[in-house]
Amino acid sequence: MEWLSDNERFSAIEENLKYINFDISEAALKSGRNPSDVRLMAVTKTVESKFINHAISCGVNLIGENKVQELLLKEPELNLDGCKAHLIGHLQSNKVKKIVGHVETIQSVDSVSIAKEIGKRSVESGIITKILLEVNAGSEDSKFGFSADELFEKACEISETDGILINGLMCVAPICEKEAEIRAIFSNMHRMFIDIGAKKIDNISMNILSMGMSGDYKYAILEGANLVRVGSSIFGARIYR
């Protein structure tokens, strides 16, 4: 959308949000849930603050950024009254101190050591940070996250850390050719989400199942996602500078 004027982009964002919200409602109903049970996160990496603020004025109440630096840079320019921010990108331990307190949830917790660091910094700040455990749902070498095999054991280990609450699971699914393939991956995530939740472990609440992006959020919802992370379908293709 870069060739468009700002005003044209504002209208495009508004239109896109209408379509996406409609699709979300439809998929939620098909999966036997209320449309209000599925949250839309607008993924704002590389998007300028004025466009993010426009999305917020159109009703977006949750945004996700991948990088600590980018989030902290934009934060003073954003109208975050009534809108929460989550970190959704891989986090390095030297950045934890900077981000704790600036986001409601860190979705991309992919190791015990990063969870412990978040806990330590949260305790220092006198807060509890909600985290999601990232699962490498497609077992890809190139992706971060716990393997399905180790997830439960690691969740138990992390749950003993002060200063954090495990609030669910997230995944970045592989690009699949076939609908059945991607749905099987989402369905497996949903099974782990339910199984771990059923074990009723202290400090583990399986409230959020964050999966599905622009290309696959409808399938994710059909398989049980209650938070979808949508970027380019709202804001247009990303331009990395």
**Residues within the interface to ligand PLP (CB under 6 A):** 43, 45, 66, 88-89, 172, 213-215, 229-233
Find the shortest distance in angstroms from Cβ 71 to ligand PLP. 13
Q: Given the complex with ligand PLP, which of 135 and 163 has the nearer CB atom? A: 135
Find the shortest distance in angstroms from Cβ 162 to ligand PLP. 27
Find the shortest distance in angstroms from Cβ 19 to ligand PLP. 14
What is the chain's alpha carbon radius of gyration, rounded to the nearest angstrom? 17
Q: Given the complex with ligand PLP, which of 20 and 163 has the nearer CB atom? A: 20
Q: Given the complex with ligand PLP, which of 117 and 216 has the nearer CB atom? A: 216
**Nearest by Cα to 118 from 149, 158, 76, 169:** 158
Residue 122 in 3-state DSSP?
Answer: helix
Find the shortest distance in angstroms from Cβ 201 to ligand PLP. 26
Residues contacting 163, CB < 8 A, separation 6+: 118, 119, 120, 121, 122, 123, 127, 128, 129
**Nearest by Cα to 169 from 97, 220, 100, 98:** 220
CA 94/CA 96 separation, integer angstroms:
6
Q: Given the complex with ligand PLP, which of 70 and 181 has the nearer CB atom? A: 70
Exposed, middle or buried, 71 (CB in 10 Å: 0-12/13-18/19+)?
Answer: buried
Q: Which residue is nearest to ligand PLP (CB)?
A: 231
Find the shortest distance in angstroms from Cβ 98 to ligand PLP. 19
Q: Given the complex with ligand PLP, which of 63 and 118 has the nearer CB atom? A: 63
